[in-house]
């Protein structure tokens, strides 16, 4: 069955970096676009970034553009999110999600999330 | 990218129907057929309920249905059940490889 497992979250000081990972299994990872979506504590969902199946096209929300980098290793079935210059507004549960139905944001499978807490 | 507008709360009694609205603009909801709805129970990941405005993934009961008129999309839940109590989020493609979500609606089954 499809499974997405995020890791790499933790508590970090403002201005520092974290690399999040999302291990995929149960489907042909290289055939699907993948997204990162975050949810601040007690708040709603916020789209963060997308990477096309082949990995060469990447797009970001304005709130993270220039600070976050999405990437993938199709040989390892793994999605990444490099987060730099973190600030308190980046504190959130970060989900990876598969774009399942045609590449327009139909997120049919989600991981359980990895928590990033930015605090001094 | 401004968030889509959803009512913060909605409620209904078991067996009743409820509709949740999601208002965007002519640049997102009004421009594309790529509107999605997600259900999120406390402490759980979101679950896709509706995609492309009206389509249901396999396994989603037909009690859940979606529609759109102009810049506003709607999720209808008929025959409310206790397990429908959850947060519901709409999402939309916003063009130029950007996506936007609504602020969420907490559905209470009375």
Q: Residue B44 contacts by C-beta under 8 Å, 6 or more apart in sequence?
A: none
Statement: residue B1 has pLDDT above 70? no
Min distance B52 CA to chain A CA atoms (Å): 8
Statement: residue A101 has pLDDT above 80? no
Distance CA A49, CA A67 (A): 12
Nearest to A45 among B52, B97, B101 (CB): B101
Q: Residue A114 contacts by C-beta under 8 Å, 6 or more apart in sequence?
A: A6, A7, A8, A9, A20, A93, A94
Nearest to A41 by CA among A105, A110, A119, A108: A119
Rg (CA), chain A: 13
B3 touches chain A (CB under 8 A): yes
Min distance B105 CA to chain A CA atoms (Å): 9
Q: What percent of chain B has pLDDT over 90?
A: 97
Residues of B in contact with A110 (CB under 8 A): 45-47
Distance CA A91, CA A116 (A): 5
Largest CA distance in chain A: 42
Statement: residue A105 has pLDDT above 80? yes
**Average pLDDT, rounded, for chain A:** 96
């Amino acid at each position: 069955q499809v499974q997405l497992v995020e890791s790499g979250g933790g508590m970090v000081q403002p201005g520092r970096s974290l690399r999040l990972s999302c291990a995929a299994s149960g489907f042909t990872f290289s055939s699907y676009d993948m997204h990162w979506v975050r949810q601040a504590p007690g708040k709603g969902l916020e789209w963060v970034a997308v990477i096309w199946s082949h990995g060469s096209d990447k797009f970001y929300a304005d709130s993270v553009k220039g600070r976050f980098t999405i990437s993938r290793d199709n040989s390892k079935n793994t999605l990444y999110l490099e987060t730099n210059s973190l600030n308190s507004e980046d504190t959130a549960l970060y989900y990876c999600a598969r774009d399942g139905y045609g590449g327009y944001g139909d997120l049919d499978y989600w991981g359980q999330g990895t928590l990033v807490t930015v605090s001094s | 990218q401004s968030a889509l507008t959803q009512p913060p709360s909605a409620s209904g009694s078991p067996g009743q129907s409820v509709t949740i609205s999601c208002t965007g603009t002519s640049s997102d909801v009004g421009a594309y057929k790529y509107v999605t709805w997600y259900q999120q129970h406390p402490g759980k990941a979101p679950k896709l309920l509706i995609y492309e405005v009206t389509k249901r993934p396999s396994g989603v009961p037909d009690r859940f249905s979606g529609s759109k008129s102009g810049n506003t999309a709607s999720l209808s839940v008929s025959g409310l059940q206790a397990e429908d109590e959850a947060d519901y989020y709409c999402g939309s493609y916003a063009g130029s490889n950007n996506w936007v979500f609504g602020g969420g609606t907490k559905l209470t089954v009375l």
